[in-house]
Amino acid sequence: MREWFAHKTIYGPALAICIEVVVFSLIAPGFLSIENVINISLQTAITGILAVGMTLVILTGGIDLSIGSVVALAGVAAATASGAGAFPGLATAIAVGVVAGGLTGLLVAYFRVAPFVVTLAGLTIARGLAFLWTGGRSVGGLPPDFNFWGQALIGIVPLPVVLMVVIVAAGHFLLSRTVFGRQVYAVGGNPEASWLAGVAVREVLLAVYLINGLLVGLAGAVLAARLGAGLPNSGQLYELDVIAAVVVGGTSLSGGKGGVLGSLLGALFIGTLNNGLNLAGIDPYLQKIVLGLVILAAVLLDGARRGQDSFT
């Protein structure tokens, strides 16, 4: 019964996606074509990868506003190192993400600085470093073996989509089948009680931000490979899309409730919404309003759930 309750929040996003599919198949030409379905999945891949790390962070009661800027920094780092080969480029991007996540985790866990403040500062610092690194110019001419990470196909499925599925599966296993996963939920639910129960709260928080940083670095490398260049202005507003995906997917902003499967559905919902509105010819500015209303509705629903839980 408890496990069912823990996962029931994914039913809403799943139903919403079904409604989207029905509506857009009627008003948007070519929406249900194989090419467009693959396009939606590819557009969702980066958001889905980032959403796994963000889910862990939000489950602990934190937030990460810096991921878009760190994606750009990791991307230009990967592009710079890609001349040495596909794996050195990927490893460099991941190292940048892990360092950024580690610094954030140290400040949040050991110096008790609010995650909002730390990551807001990180947003501007990482973006500034990306522009400083490149002199404001893109790093192009990437070798084909590095572009493999963002452009290769497995059958008809883009490699970034495969990576997203593998990472979501690993994240779900981590949260639902390991001691560490239970500790993440415990810390998000009540950090003081978790500490009294013997949970190493600071170490759990640090590990969560390190994992998040690793995935942000990976996403930066995949994005650079997909674009064929490291762009210092890439990843702008990614943090909003990713947070929206996690919240729409049912993870509570107060921490302790949610999961990566819901976040994947949230990412798919937003990706499908953007794609369908584009195909239907809806004004781009109106699309932003629609997305904002969706985020607001998800936050209000989260608040209503928390209010209901407080009386049960």
Question: Coil, strand, or helix at residue 304?
Answer: helix
Asked, for residue 18, whether it belongs to a domain, the answer is no
| pLDDT attached to residue 77 | 98
Residue listed under structure tokens 């994992």:
211
Radius of gyration of the chain (CA): 19
Q: What percent of the chain is predicted at pLDDT more than 90? A: 83
Q: Residue 114: inside a domain, yes or no? A: yes
User: Over 60: is that where the pLDDT of 45 sits?
Assistant: yes
Using the predicted structure, report yes or no on whether residue 27 has a pLDDT greater than 50.
yes
Does residue 205 form part of some domain?
yes
pLDDT tens per residue, range 231-281: 999 999 999 999 999 999 999 998 999 999 999 999 999 999 999 999 999
Count structural domains, the chain: 1
Strand partners of residue 31: none
- Can you tell me which residue has the tokens 């990614």? 238
Strand partners, 154: 157
Query: Per residue in 133-159, pLDDT tens?
Result: 999 999 999 999 999 999 999 999 999
**169 has pLDDT over 60:** yes
Neighbours of 13 (CB within 10 A): 24
State pLDDT tens for residues 59-94: 999 999 999 999 999 999 999 999 999 999 999 999
CATH number at residue 87: 1.10.3470
**What pLDDT score does 4 carry?**
41
Task: Note whether residue 16 is domain-resident.
Answer: no
Is residue 3 scored above 80 in pLDDT?
Answer: no
Which residues constitute the domain of residue 274? Answer: 33-303
Kindly write down the DSSP assignment for every residue of 180-247, as one continuous string: HHHHHHHHHH-HHHHHHTT--HHHHHHHHHHHHHHHHHHHHHHHHHHHTSB-TTTTTTHHHHHHHHHH
Does residue 309 form part of some domain? no
Residue 231 lies in a domain: yes
CA nearest to 220, candidates 244, 201, 197, 236: 236
How many Cα neighbours within 13 Å face the side chain of 199? 25
In a domain, 171, yes or no: yes
* Residue 262 placed within a domain: yes
pLDDT tens profile 190-215: 999 999 999 999 999 999 999 999 99
